[in-house]
Copies of this chain bind each other. A is one copy, B any other.
């Protein structure tokens, strides 16, 4: 593993050179950069081998815990970059990579990204970001407008106001959700009388002052795992995240939500946030946001919508009605690095009321002084990059109608794939697409027939074997490296809420074709036959069940 690097006698002169002299245009690094800039997919096809090493093998290339003593040349490392890192990375932009929310990105983002990195602004404060601060405020205004559609006067008043904030940029949906619930918690337990508020005095004092036995957050059982993390961090505990059961379409069950609210009231437990999910991570379904907004309004609860995934669908006039009610949310999470097609690290939370974020305002002496317009006054993170510029130019270039087309075609493609799965005798659609996500599994024809006749115990056995088979197929397909779908575990009502492992497909990449979708199923069918334990055992079990009825 140990590499022999050419040593450079470290001197200030030679070190100054790396800060002042650019990479030669004929260097290996420059040539990799150029090839990637010219055609990313063909470069990766050439350099990311189909059959990849196992993770354990890859780890062998990354096992040295020592920072090398000597200074070396950049060119000493380009082979490693190419063969060990790039070649062993995941081809997330491949049209055959349909398992997660990463997609191909527009090419114009590459030069823009380089410019962004070169400028190296720090958006925590104006002194290190200048135009990037109003730019970020404008982008927050645009997204705020996408959701809340307030008039020009509203944005004139608040977009650039120092004491206000239409939202906060952050690295991703997790920080966005934590920020939203932080705001909700602090507003619920705000200063009053001689109580200085939870931000100052902490949760125990706050609960004593307000006389609550407990504080909880309500969300459907399909809520993102970051909400559990939020409940932990914010000091209310994961037990305070109440998971409301979902209906047959993975949407929050409103009657059950109402029942929980009554129970909480009887026990003097205060729900300080109701979270609607607009595009569950696992199935892409959208909660009945409008009805949830009614309930939140009636109960005076902060209504947060986690639209990390689905928020981008507001760009489409065709999809927008599915999110009806989102404009009534007190806060909304959107990840631009999902279906707004910008690189990783572009999450945000939007606030309906521009003064809401004052509940989490922080100041310091050397920056973020009171009345400054520094963005850092209202963000959970401190120093941050100027990545918002990538979203800014994407919005300007692609435009609403461009996004609408991209999003509509992704949903259409999911509808096509769902139909394709339904037509296959040996596949089962588990969750139908509402946005561009769906789940399904391989279900051999005979197993399907047997399930119709099996006892409850036999049904359990069949499902257990199908689960093993699903996991086998998904892992093998991923390892083969030709296509990638992800998997998760659902509890479909069709199967009496039995834990059911399923393939999960996200059709965000505009370059994914119908042919690719056909191929994915074909490949899975072939892989299934390679199972040496689950499939043979399943066949024996199924045969024995069916034989009694023949």
Stretch at the interface among A10-18, A460-468, A540-548: A10-18
A232 sits at the interface (CB 8 A)? yes
Which residues of the other chain, B, contact A59 by a CB distance below 8 angstroms?
Answer: 134, 137, 160
Q: Which residue of B lies closest to A509 (CB)?
A: B19
A22 touches B10 (CB 8 A): no
Contacts A19-B106, A89-B129, A196-B239 supplied; 4 other A-B pairs, CB < 8 Å: A29-B111, A61-B131, A62-B138, A89-B131
1/0 contact trace for A153-193 toward B, CB 8 Å?
A: 00110011000000000111111001000100010000000
Task: Say whether A515 faces chain B, with CB atoms less than 8 Å apart.
Answer: no
Question: Could you give 14 example pairs across A and B, Cβ below 8 Å?
Answer: A23-B107, A29-B111, A36-B118, A58-B134, A62-B135, A86-B115, A93-B120, A170-B171, A175-B382, A198-B237, A201-B239, A228-B362, A229-B380, A365-B488
Closest partner residue, chain B, to A173 (CB atom) = B382
Q: Are B67 and A119 in contact (CB under 8 A)?
A: no
B135 touches A384 (CB 8 A): no
Flag if A40 contacts B362 (CB, 8 Å).
no
* Nearest chain B CB to A544 CB, angstrom units: 31
Instruction: Name the one of B33, B68, B107 contacting A115, with C-beta atoms under 8 angstroms.
Output: B33
Q: Does B115 lie within 8 Å of A92, measured CB to CB?
A: no
A282 with B366: in contact, given A114-B113, A399-B68, A511-B20 (CB under 8 Å)? yes
A77 on the B face (CB < 8 A): yes
Chain B: which residue is nearest A403 at the CB level?
Answer: B67
- A450 interface hit (Cβ, 8 Å): no
* Among listed A270-278, A290-298, A337-345, A525-533, interface-contacting one: A337-345
Bound-state CA distance A77–B240 (Å) is: 48
Nearest CB on B from A458, distance (A): 25
A501 to B63, CA, bound (A): 49
Lowest 6 CB-CB distances: which A-B pairs, in order? A235-B235, A202-B237, A174-B382, A366-B488, A88-B131, A65-B141
The answer to the question of A99 belonging to the interface, with a C-beta cut-off of 8 Å to chain B, is: yes
Within 8 A of B (CB), among A90-122: 90, 92-93, 99-100, 102, 104-115, 117-122
Q: Tell me which residues across on chain B come within 8 A of A228, comparing CB atoms.
A: 362
Whether A549 sits at the interface, judged by CB under 8 Å, is no
Chain B residues whose C-beta falls within 8 Å of the C-beta of A402 in the assembled complex = 10, 15, 71
What mask results when residues 342 to 386 of chain A are scored 1 for a CB within 8 Å of chain B, else 0?
011101000000000000101111111000010000001111111
Chain A interface size, under 10 / 10 to 19 / 20 to 34 / 35 or more: 35 or more
Q: A100 → chain B, closest Cβ, in Å?
A: 5
Q: How far is the CA of A18 from the CA of B62 in the complex (A)?
A: 35
Q: Let me know if A246 is at the binding interface, CB within 8 A.
A: no
Shortest CB distance A390–B (Å): 9
Stretch in contact with the other chain, from A142-150, A322-330, A419-427: A142-150
- Per-residue CB contact flags for chain A residues 389-405 toward chain B (1 = under 8 Å, else 0) read 10001011111111011
* Complex Cα gap A24–B390 (Å): 19
CB of A441 closer than 8 Å to a CB of B: no
Residues of B within 8 A of A395 (CB): 67-68
Residues of chain B contacted by A178 (CB below 8 angstroms): 233, 380
B121 to A202, Cβ gap below 8 A? no
Q: A138-B62, A172-B381, A228-B362 are contacts. A105–B120 as well, Cβ < 8 Å? A: yes
Tell which of A18, A36, A113, A170 has the most Cβ of chain B within 10 Å: A18
Q: Assess whether A236 is interfacial by the CB under 8 Å rule.
A: yes
Chain B CB count within 10 A is highest, among A109, A111, A409, for A111
Q: Cβ of A32 < 8 Å from any Cβ of B? A: yes
Q: Chain A 230-260 against B: per-residue CB contact (8 Å), 1 yes, 0 no?
A: 0111111111100000000000000000000
Interface hub of A37, A383, A510 (most chain B Cβ within 10 A): A383
Find out whether the CB atom of A12 lies under 8 angstroms from the CB atom of B409: yes
Partner of A130, one of B10, B88, B360, B396: B88
Of the candidate stretches A203-211, A428-436, A516-524, the one touching chain B is A203-211
How many Å from the CB of A515 to the closest CB on chain B?
15
| Contact status of A130 and B405, CB under 8 A, knowing A67-B146, A77-B397, A159-B63 | no
Q: Select from chain B the residue with minimum beta-carbon distance to A52.
A: B130
Contacts of A22 in B (CB 8 A): 37-39, 107, 110
